[in-house]
A and B are shown apart, each in its own frame.
Chain A
Amino acid sequence: MKLRITPDGLPIYQQIINQVKYLAASGRLVPGDELPAIRVLAEQLLVNPNTVAKAYRELEAQGVVESRHGSGTYLSREGSPLKKKELLKALQERTDTLLAEGLQMGIELEEILELVRQRYENMQISHNKKGDK
């Protein structure tokens, strides 16, 4: 699992959460895959182990991963247990931010939607490439 921490103001635990979700969404992590142990990831990323623990706890609460006692942390099989409505609500805020930034830059709604579609396809391509290997 390749993660990269950058000093861009986003809390490090949040960066870990986002990147694990990205790896899962793009198929680079598949259900049942084991995530590195907390201390291993902490030493690899050179971040405080409590930070990694916090990210894992949060990912577990969101249903992205599940921890099996004494054996580690795995990407969940059934995906997020949250209700669809809750999930959409969680996305709403980020959609607002995206729209606000885009529209303020003078980019049309259609162009923003096109960009979202493009990025989605991009994600799928990198997934398929991995599958071809």
Chain B
Amino acid sequence: MCAGTNGNIVEVKGLSREFDEKKALKEVDFILPQGVVMGLVGENGAGKTTLIKHLLGLLRAQSGSVRVFGQDPVKDPVSVLSRIGYLSEDREMLDWMTLDELMAFTAAFYPDWDWKYADHLVDTFRLDRKNRICNNSRGQRAQAGLILAVAHHPDLLLLDEPSSGLDPIVRRDILSEIIHAVTDAGKTVLFSSHLLDEVERVADTVTLISGGKMILTSPMDDLLNNYREFQVKLPQTVSSFPSLPGLLRAEGKDNEWTVLVDSNPDVFKNLLQTKNIQMLSERHLSLNDIFIAKVGRPVQNDNEEF
């Protein structure tokens, strides 16, 4: 399997994009190494879909460069797209076809289309092959879209809000296929989602994007390990919390404060000790909490649990 340079499947450098003078992406640098499951997280309009459309060659870079498998997806669409599986929130499909027709149509574009795998998924999802896609429910459409995205065993799976508006059962199917793609052959996955508990489960790396800018990229475990909230008690009353390395935010008054930390918590705890500050309690932050802390507002919408 040939990746781009340095084993990176995707390399985006200095990518900017404007729509009607509104900046959708600002100087975005983005790298996706082979075998990584990257969760792309950001509010609506953050630029997630715009970034993904550049990777598919659906948008041309106005400035900066986009490389997928070391190639320019606008210049080499056939060789790039044959190795990508794509599922979007809109799930645009030729929906006057039946599932059987649509699979045959799609298979014709992909030399590596795996009928056995496609049939297995149709049975697992209990879809009706003879039913036109337009007569399907939203969940069935998503399942059909998923089959079309994965049945050629793509090296790169791009999922743009794949679970948006779906019931927990179909969301499970989608997550399960992402896991399957990784366990089976070390494929690379980029998926954007509002459902941060989903991202937390499946992604090993997270990229936060907000207002068209990259906020951070980090291994999931480091992110969840480093961000903590401490309740602390100072030896004396203060009007503002002393500035300490690793401190992201402090709220409180007098001598009782709640502080948010974004670096190694053990180092911070030692620091508290040397300053004679007593730690009352400690809490891990969820990805959702971290997002709010970094961006200042929640990711929004249907955040139901399984």
Contact = CB atoms under 8 A, between A and B. Distances in A.
Interface of A: 5, 7-13, 39, 42-43, 45-51, 54, 96-97, 100-101, 104
Interface string B202-234: 111000000000000000110011000001000
Given A7-B305, A11-B225, A101-B281, A47 B179 contact: yes
A92 B284 CA distance: 18
A42 B184 CA distance: 12
26 contacts: A7-B196, A7-B286, A7-B287, A8-B284, A9-B224, A9-B283, A11-B225, A11-B284, A39-B183, A43-B176, A43-B179, A46-B176, A46-B179, A47-B179, A48-B179, A48-B182, A48-B201, A48-B203, A48-B204, A49-B179, A51-B220, A54-B221, A100-B279, A100-B281, A104-B280, A104-B281
What 10 A-B pairs are tightest by C-beta distance, nearest first?
A7-B197, A9-B284, A9-B286, A11-B224, A39-B183, A100-B280, A47-B201, A46-B175, A48-B204, A50-B204
Interface of B: 37, 172, 175-176, 179-180, 182-183, 196-197, 200-204, 220-221, 224-225, 231, 279-289, 305
Nearest to B305: A7
Given A7-B287, A11-B284, A13-B221, 10 more contacts: A7-B197, A7-B305, A9-B284, A11-B221, A43-B183, A46-B201, A48-B182, A51-B221, A96-B279, A101-B281
A46 B175 CA distance: 7
A48 B202 contact: yes
A7 B183 contact: no
A96 B280 CA distance: 9
B37 A97 contact: no
Contacts of A45: 201
Contacts, number: 70
Given A11-B284, A101-B281, A42 B179 contact: yes
A48 B284 contact: no
Most buried by B among A42, A45, A54: A42
Contacts of B224: 9-11
A42 B204 CA distance: 13
Contacts of A12: 200-201
A13 B204 CA distance: 11
Contacts of B179: 42-43, 46-49
Contacts of A13: 221
Most buried by B among A11, A43, A54: A11
A104 B280 CA distance: 7
B188 to A, nearest CB: 13
A46 B305 contact: no
Contacts of A48: 37, 179, 182, 201-204, 220
Contacts of B172: 46
Contacts of B284: 8-11
Contacts of B201: 5, 12, 45-48
Contact of B183 (A5, A49, A101, A104): A49
A124 B203 CA distance: 37
A96 B179 CA distance: 38
Given A42-B179, A42-B183, A48-B179, A7 B200 contact: yes
Most buried by A among B196, B286, B288, B305: B286
Nearest to B35: A50
Given A7-B286, A97-B282, A47 B202 contact: yes
Contact of B285 (A5, A9, A104): A9
Contacts of A47: 179, 201-202
Nearest to A45: B201
Contacts of B221: 11, 13, 51, 54
B35 to A, nearest CB: 9
